[in-house]
Amino acid sequence: MPPATASGAHLWIANTVADLIQGDINEHLPLERIPLQGDVLGLGTTTSVDNGELTFLRNPSGDTTIWKCQASDAGIRPLQPGDGSGHFPYVCFSGDVSAQKVLIDPAELGAPAGRELQELVAEAITLLQVQGRLPAAPIYGLRLEVEWQSLVITVASKLCMGQQRRNAAIATNAPGDGTANRSIYDLLQHYRLGEAASGDPEDPIRYLGRSLHWDCCGFYDTDPSSGRVTVPQGDDHLHLHGCSVDLRHGGHLHHGHPGTLLKAVRRFAIYPLQHLHWLGSDLAIENLRYSGGAVVFDVFNHGAMDVSDVGVAVVIDDRYSDHRYLRLPWLAAGASEQFSLPLALAPGQHHLEVIADPQRQILETAAAQCNNRASLTMEIA
């Protein structure tokens, strides 16, 4: 990650929640590139092969462990480099924010029972700012220890859950329109925790048990419509993941669900995150040439995210209907691959164009897309 040279706390965002709910993300940040020394805040989602949620929790050594919350049963396990779950299509994380921690006594917020957690967090931020203890920031990191009367959690079970939203940019259909109007959390796997099961045999939410004491980490975004770390809706400021303190269950805390009832906040820390950094991919075609009867070129990934399933089109004399097509299974950040494609050309002038990601499946900014193609005009004797 880039060095944090400016004063104040930093937050790195690899893709965004808005990107994630569009579906089919081919960009990934490896676990190894996330620093976990000290108090590191973060949350995210694991790969489409092994879906689940990520929760960043402190460990007994004083550092941070990423826990993977599984979609199949809401169970959890700590992630280790090389264990097969180490590439994340969406993740956001801070540096060590120990020095920026601001504690608030939950008693200052009054009785929490029956109140929504997002409301309490907003009240805490306002109170600390009035007291002069909390500087302004676009996003606030959170650590909370919370007890619930009942709790509904969700766990991502399909990363392309919102593919209809991406299709809607160019076409519409009845199922797509219906899905797009639903909350993204309606499309995820739900679980319920409470003193007892609902007793309704047709209850679609699976009951997990009485693990109602949770350790949580997340973010409060002052501009939720941007979709940086929360669902891009005007009233969704809070995005919180967590694990039960008995380390049995974990996932996204559906704090606004009618079945979620707060009992008590035991510990509450807020971190102002003043500096935001976006991590993305940057594909490039370089060193295009025609040599020895073959077109030769390099595909680079100058970005900070690994990419998968990258397409490359080679177009001869503007005949797109007769183009050659290559596909790279994986291209790590900072890596490159060279290709040599035999190409018999008749005498005369020819125009070659090589395009990385011609279908624009890789998430890149408009500026980063400028180097996705290279062209060459030449004369064959």
CATH number of the domain that residue 297 is part of: 2.60.40.10
Same domain, 43 and 124: yes
Mean per-residue pLDDT, 350-365: 94
Instruction: Give the pLDDT of residue 185.
Output: 62
Cβ of 359: how many Cβ atoms within 10 Å?
8
Own/partner contacts of 182-187, CB < 8 Å, gap of 24 or more, are 183/231, 184/21, 184/231, 185/154, 185/231, 185/252, 185/254, 185/257, 187/158, 187/161, 187/162
Average pLDDT, the chain: 89
- List the one residue out of 198, 190, 340 whose CA is nearest residue 252: 190
Instruction: Give the pLDDT of residue 187.
Output: 65
Instruction: Give the pLDDT of residue 296.
Output: 97
Find the CATH number of the domain harbouring 145: 3.30.1330.80
Which two tokens mark 263?
A: 């009992």
pLDDT digits (tens, 9 = 90+) for 217-261: 999 999 999 999 999 988 999 999 999 999 999 999 999 999 999
Same domain, 164 and 190: yes
Look at the block and give the residue holding tokens 């519409």. Answer: 172
Mean per-residue pLDDT, 27-41: 94
Same domain, 274 and 292: no
pLDDT digits (tens, 9 = 90+) for 95-115: 999 999 999 999 999 998 889
Instruction: Give the pLDDT of residue 46.
Output: 85
Phi-psi region for residue 278, left (φ > 0), alpha (ψ -120 to 50) or beta?
beta
Examine the fold and report which residue of 262, 279, 296 is the final residue of a domain before the chain moves on.
279
Same domain, 111 and 246: yes
Same domain, 143 and 258: yes
User: What is the number of domains present in the chain?
Assistant: 2
DSSP 249: -
User: Does residue 342 register a pLDDT over 80?
Assistant: yes
Range of the domain at 102: 9-279
pLDDT digits (tens, 9 = 90+) for 254-284: 999 999 999 999 999 999 999 999 999 999 9
Label each residue of the chain as H, E or C: CCCCCCCCEEEEEECCHHHHCCCCCCEEEEHHHCCCCCCEEEEEECCCCCCEEEEEEECCCCCEEEEEEECCCCCEEECCCCCCCCEECEEEEEEECHHHCEECCHHHHCCCCCCCHHHHHHHHHHHHHHCCCCCCCCEEEEEEEEEEEEEEEEECCCHHHHHHHHHCCCCCCHHHHHHHCCCHHHHCEEEEEECCCCCCCCCCCEEEECCCEEEEEEEEECCHHHCCCCCCCCCCCEEEEEEECCCCCEEEECCCCCCCEEEEEEEEEEEEEEEEEEECCCEEEEEEEEECCEEEEEEEECCCCEEEEEEEEEEECCCHHHCEEEEEEEECCCCEEEEEEECCCCCEEEEEEEEECCCCCCCCCCCHHHHCEEEEEEEEC
Same domain, 316 and 233: no
Same domain, 81 and 105: yes
Split at pLDDT 50, 70, 90, the class of 326 is very high
Answer yes or no: is 57 within a domain: yes
DSSP 12: E
pLDDT digits (tens, 9 = 90+) for 137-150: 999 999 999 999 99
Which two tokens mark 172?
A: 């519409």
Answer yes or no: is 4 within a domain: no
Same domain, 80 and 200: yes
Instruction: Give the pLDDT of residue 158.
Output: 54
User: Does residue 192 register a pLDDT over 90?
Assistant: yes
**Beta-carbon contacts of residue 175 (< 8 Å; ≥ 6 apart):** 164
Answer yes or no: is 74 within a domain: yes
Cβ of 18: how many Cβ atoms within 10 Å?
18
Q: How much of the chain, in percent, has pLDDT values that exceed 70?
A: 89
Split at pLDDT 50, 70, 90, the class of 174 is very low
Same domain, 134 and 212: yes
Please say whether the dihedral angle defined by the alpha carbons of residues 19, 32, 221 and 52, taken in this order, is positive or negative. Answer: positive
Mean per-residue pLDDT, 300-324: 93
Answer yes or no: is 2 within a domain: no
- List the one residue out of 281, 130, 106, 255 whose CA is nearest residue 183: 255
Answer yes or no: is 1 within a domain: no
Instruction: Give the pLDDT of residue 373.
Output: 97
Same domain, 357 and 237: no
Answer yes or no: is 3 within a domain: no
Answer yes or no: is 260 within a domain: yes
The more confidently predicted of residues 82 and 108 is 108
User: Does residue 290 register a pLDDT over 90?
Assistant: yes
Examine the fold and report which residue of 279, 308, 331 is the final residue of a domain before the chain moves on.
279
User: Does residue 3 register a pLDDT over 60?
Assistant: no
Instruction: Give the pLDDT of residue 201.
Output: 82
Same domain, 118 and 54: yes
pLDDT digits (tens, 9 = 90+) for 155-165: 976 544 444 44
Instruction: Give the pLDDT of residue 175.
Output: 43
Examine the fold and report which residue of 231, 258, 279 is the final residue of a domain before the chain moves on.
279
Same domain, 295 and 253: no
Residue 9: alpha-carbon gap to chain centroid: 20
Which two tokens mark 177?
A: 């329109």
Residue 141: alpha-carbon gap to chain centroid: 16
